[in-house]
Structure 1
Amino acid sequence: MKVDDLKLFLKVVELGSFTAAANALDLPRANVSRRIGELEQSLGTPLFHRTTRSLSLTTSGEGYVENLQKAVDLLDFANEQVSNKNNEVRGKIKIGLLPETNELVQPILFDFQDKYPHVELDIRNINNGFTDMFKQGLDIAFHGGELFDSDLVARKLLMLDKCIVASPNYLKTFGEPKTVQELKDHHIVCSRWPSGEIDNVWQFQDESVELYPKLISNNIGFVKNATVLDRGIGFIPKLLIRKELESGALVQILTELTLTQETGWLLYPQPKTLSQASRLLINKLIEETPKLV
């Protein structure tokens, strides 16, 4: 039997289905099913109870997974020790980036890969670090806003100052609001949080306002572009629109207000399951990302 097939079995157990494991490992589902079947044949016992709606371990499978995980952990540790002696860090890291963070994070990732040329970086666009971590089998994911109850580790990276912005053409056509309450008389472009809630209650130090947006998107890039294209007023982290503010494509309004901040997080599994390459990249991101602000 092959080590890759044993690791595939553990991935199926971790994610709870052949389909989830196939998505995480970028494999056809039929490939996963066939390889698990071959593993069961070589062992001479079924590892899973299969129904059309569920997948669960047999008694033999439960005992096998516990001992197998220990063996695979030891094997991975031994491989890492050899790599360390050769001063080579190898492996593949799947990273989930939020919309509009590519340009910010790219220099950090490229610098890491220049230092460790044998590491393959597989970059994925995501909207929710918690759900996409499992759907896409990510090793590391960025996340914005509130946290969810999970076994994942969440490390705070930075605080993002938000600002109220509009395009010069929009302000010329519809006028500039001078108070928080006047925002209600304008076209509003809002984000949708990963939880599904709409970010339409804009909080300030002394007051808040509930708005009724004309456009809503769970992609902050769409919100930014819609605001640049004169579709309305947006409430966007300043770090993500730095170029637009410098070029004049967007104008900050109601600048006298003290606005809320949004937290940026780095998500990853428990350290014991991380590869050496992932641990090194996590440390790099934790050290370098806060410098972006």
Structure 2
Amino acid sequence: MARETSGVMLGSIELFCAAAELESFTAAATQAGITPAAVSRAIGRLEERLAVPLFVRSTRRMRLTDAGRAYHAQCRQALAQIVEAERELTGRQAEAAGLIRVSAPTTFGHSVLLPLLPAFRRRYPKVSIEVQVSNRNVDFTEDSFDLAIRARTPPDSGLVARQLLDAELVVAGAPSYLRKAGKPKTLQDLAAHECIQFLLPRTGQKVPWEFRDDGRDVQVETDGHYTVTDDVLATLTLARAGAGLVQTHRYLMEQDLADGTLVEVLQRFGGRSRPFSLLYTGTRHMPLRVRLFIDFLVEQSQRLQLEGLGALTRRRR
């Protein structure tokens, strides 16, 4: 029987799948522990072999061609079958064990990550999990973390980023505050309101409020006499007490909106969201327990996104 593939080509297919899923040759290279040029050459050899372009490349972005999307779906399935075959032969899946250290912000940690952990340990009972719930950006090398979840990816981190959830932003205030100050009807009205501020841990700068105005994404610099550091959930506590308006993720305040503790305002300027991403160093020889945990978080986050993030709040209460 003629040999139709090779170890070199199989490696190129793995790099192609990584580049397709991460939408970046650089991220795929970081994950594989090689240079972006090596990824480009490998995919170039693959395109030459197939005689079709797999990616449309530009200076600003990279995307799959129609042929690339079809090929990726088949390759992903084939690679998954190979991994499963190896696990059945070697029993590696049953050997997932050891400690996973993960850092998550307070919002995602309390509402999403922590409630999911028991289900993961039911699958892999030999795995232990240490969670740092903090908005501080961790140093993967010095702090020895395997994974971090953040609402913002450090621009020069060199880390692999996998999006987990895209969480809608809303503005709300307590009825007692709105009776006193009135409801803002335009973005300009925010200048006359107490807007509860949150400072970014890394920069110490105020987080700008984000809106969509006539189809355009806009940021508004707001001000107020209350400033919160470290814990975003504290801004909600202040808002419930009537201190002013707050902008945060809808899923965090959905129960407050449903029972009238908070009232949403400026709905016609809504539609903005902020993604939560899973960050890791992407070392080539990643421990099985960490790889399985990444797959689990991505799978569960996609399910939650489809169900609607408000289900999280309803299940907790």
Q: Shared fold by TM > 0.5?
A: yes
Secondary structure class of the residue paired with 1:100: helix
**Separation of aligned partners in 2, 1:200 and 1:133:** 28
What pairs with 1:113-262 in structure 2 (closer than 5 Å)?
Answer: 113-129=121-137, 131-196=138-203, 197-206=205-214, 208-218=219-229, 219-262=231-274
Question: Match of 1:274?
Answer: 286
- Specify the code of the residue in structure 2 equivalent to 1:149: D
Q: 2:168, 2:250 within 8 Å by CA — same for their partners in 1? A: yes
What letter corresponds to residue 139 of structure 1 in structure 2? Answer: D
Q: Does structure 2 conserve the Cα–Cα contact (< 8 Å) formed by 1:164 and 1:254?
A: yes
| Structure 1 alignment gaps of length 5 or more | 1-79
Structure 2: segments with no counterpart, 5+ residues: 1-86, 310-317
| TM-score normalised over the length of structure 1 | 0.66
Measure, in 1, the Cα distance between the counterparts of 2:89 and 2:97: 11
Secondary structure of residue in 1 paired with 2:162? strand
Q: Is the 8 A contact 2:196 2:246 kept in 1?
A: yes
Alpha-carbon distance between aligned partners in 2 of 1:98 and 1:121, rounded to the nearest angstrom: 16
Q: Deviations over 1:206-246 (max 9, x none)?
A: 45533223222242111121111211101111122222222
Distance 1:174 1:99 in 2: 30
1:154-199 per-residue CA deviation (whole Å, 9 max, x = no partner) reads: 1111211100111112112222112211111111112223442211
Matched, 1:103 2:114: no
TM-score (norm 2): 0.61
1:93 corresponds to: 100
Amino acid at match of 2:173: A
- Structure-2 change in CA distance of 1:153 and 1:86 (3 Å): closer
Identity of aligned residues (%): 24
Question: Is the alpha carbon distance of 1:229 and 1:84 closer, same or farther for their aligned partners in structure 2, counting shifts above 3 Å?
Answer: farther
Contact 2:169 2:270 in 1 (8 A): no
SS of structure 2 residue aligned to 1:87? helix
1:275 Cα deviation (Å)?
1.2
**2: CA distance, partners of 1:239 / 1:135:** 33
Q: Structure 1 pair 82/150, CA: closer, same or farther in 2 (3 Å)? A: farther
Q: What is the SS of the residue equivalent to 1:163? A: strand
CA–CA separation in structure 2 for the residues paired with 1:270 and 1:277: 14
SS at match of 2:242: coil
Q: Alpha-carbon deviation of 1:146?
A: 4.4
Secondary structure at 2:267 match in 1: coil
Of residues 265, 285, 298, the one that matches 1:286 is 298
Measured after TM superposition, the shift of residue 288 of structure 1 is 0.8
Supply the RMSD in Å over aligned alpha carbons: 2.5
8 Å contact from structure 1 (residues 202, 208) kept in 2: yes
Q: How does 1:40-51 map to 2 (within 5 A)?
A: none
**What is the rounded CA distance, in whole Å, between the counterparts of 1:252 and 1:261 in structure 2?**
16
Of 158-167 and 83-92, deviating more is 83-92
Are the counterparts in 2 of residues 161 and 261 from structure 1 also a CA contact under 8 Å? Answer: yes
> CA 1:112–1:276 in 2, change beyond 3 Å: closer, same or farther?
same
> Per-residue deviation at 1:95?
1.2
- Provide the aligned length of Structure 1 versus Structure 2: 213
Per-residue deviation, 1:81: 11
Give me the whole-angstrom Cα distance separating, in 1, the residues matched to 2:254 and 2:112: 11
State the Cα distance separating 1:103 from its structure 2 match.
3.0
The corresponding residue for 2:276 is 264
Q: Distance in 1 between matches of 2:93 and 2:298?
A: 26
Instruction: Provide the rounded CA distance (Å) in 2 between the counterparts of 1:81 and 1:215.
Output: 57
8 Å contact from structure 1 (residues 145, 193) kept in 2: no
